[in-house]
Structure 1
Amino acid sequence: MRIAPFPLALLALAAGAVAMPMPGWAQSDPAAARLIEQLRPRAGGATRGIRLPSAPAPGAAAEAAPGAAPAVPAPPPVATTQRPAPRPPVVPDTTAPEGVAAVSITVTFPSGSATLTPQAEARLAPLGRALSSADLAPFRFLIEGHTDSVGDEAMNLDLSERRAAAVRDYLIRQFGVSGSRLQAVGLGETRLLVPTGDGVNEPRNRRVQVINLDG
């Protein structure tokens, strides 16, 4: 009797050897794909973790087998005075509220200017591709401009507003993102990503933060 060949694809699935590949566009544009994942609305609900076996209650004795030797108690733990090395402080990714889909992008401008440099446009290009993708098309976004603490507070606030507007205009002009989906606001030095004193030149604070308003 002749046995019909089993499809190779089903054989592979049965063996658990088939891995789902990334979409072709994501492989060629990983920066935009990463931003899409960061800016998707985050699903709510509790996370289901792996339930580990529970430890026996303190003082509970295990039932001994007949004829078994009595259990010898374990020696008490030896106290140690060695302390773990202090960990460096962790800088958060954004100053957005917890659970809100957001991303911060460091954008370079000439000192005192709201004109985007070629380097700034290169940093913003993946964001433009992400926001114009079908994955993020249904959502609206807040474009926040932030500065470091160098200079006058009022001047930094005005500068951050103009820079946020420049980023918004660039995304509309170069990537066709609808202006109705983008709202620009400047926050100056009021929400520093890296807390510093006045007059500190901290590049990570000179950034644009993008927040999903529908997430």
Structure 2
Amino acid sequence: MNLTVQFATNSAQLTPEAVRTLDALGRALSSATLSSYRFRIEGHTDTVGSPDTNKALSARRAEAVVDYLATKFSLDRTRMEPVGMGEDGLLVQTPPQVADPRNRRVQVVNLGA
């Protein structure tokens, strides 16, 4: 199961669309079927801004997703590993300083049991 949650420019705030996606994910992660699985929560940015700033922003995005899921669904935080990827792993390859919303995201990756 891979899932993507998108963000506004220079923001780690969850959008209403992101909340709907995370609510579906939270319900799934709360199920007995997935209770033994771990997930990497990868924060990403587009190429606007400095690499250091983007690395920090991507980490905040990943943490925002973990915080939401842990708080709303009482999920064990040890099941979710937040990682700030910054500009690494662009979904859409762009030159520097290009604001592509598809790259401003958190991707949830199933690590298995």
Q: What is the TM-score with the length of structure 2 in the denominator?
A: 0.89
Secondary structure, aligned partner of 2:43: strand
CA deviations over 1:158-192 (Å, ceiling 9, x no partner): 00001100100100011121111111010011110
Question: Residues of 2 paired with 1:201 and 1:104: CA distance?
Answer: 21
One of 86, 89, 92 as aligned partner of 1:191? 89
Q: What is the RMSD of the two structures over their aligned residues, measured on CA atoms?
A: 1.5
Following TM superposition, where does structure 1 have runs of at least 4 consecutive aligned residues deviating by more than 6 angstroms? Answer: none
Q: Which has the higher strand share?
A: 2
Q: Does residue 1:113 correspond to 2:24, yes or no?
A: no
Question: Residues of 2 paired with 1:122 and 1:179: CA distance?
Answer: 20
Question: Residues of 1 paired with 2:70 and 2:41: CA distance?
Answer: 12
Matches within 5 A, 1:18-37: none
The residue identity in structure 1 corresponding to 2:62 is A
After TM superposition, give the deviation of residue 142 of structure 1 in Å. 0.7
Gaps of 5+ in 1: 1-38, 40-102
Question: Residues of 1 paired with 2:57 and 2:38: CA distance?
Answer: 23
Tell me: higher relative CO, structure 1 or 2? Use CA pairs within 8 A at least 6 residues apart.
Answer: 2
The residue identity in structure 2 corresponding to 1:136 is L
CA deviations over 1:48-75 (Å, ceiling 9, x no partner): xxxxxxxxxxxxxxxxxxxxxxxxxxxx
- Contact 1:140–1:212 (CA<8 Å) still a contact in 2? yes
The higher radius of gyration belongs to 1
CA deviations over 1:83-110 (Å, ceiling 9, x no partner): xxxxxxxxxxxxxxxxxxxx1413224x
Question: Residues of 2 paired with 1:160 and 1:176: CA distance?
Answer: 23
Q: Which has the higher helix share?
A: 2
Question: Residues of 1 paired with 2:55 and 2:3: CA distance?
Answer: 18
Q: Does residue 1:209 correspond to 2:101, yes or no?
A: no
One of 53, 59, 62 as aligned partner of 1:155? 53
Aligned residues: 113
State the match for 2:25 in structure 1: 127
Q: Does residue 1:165 correspond to 2:60, yes or no?
A: no
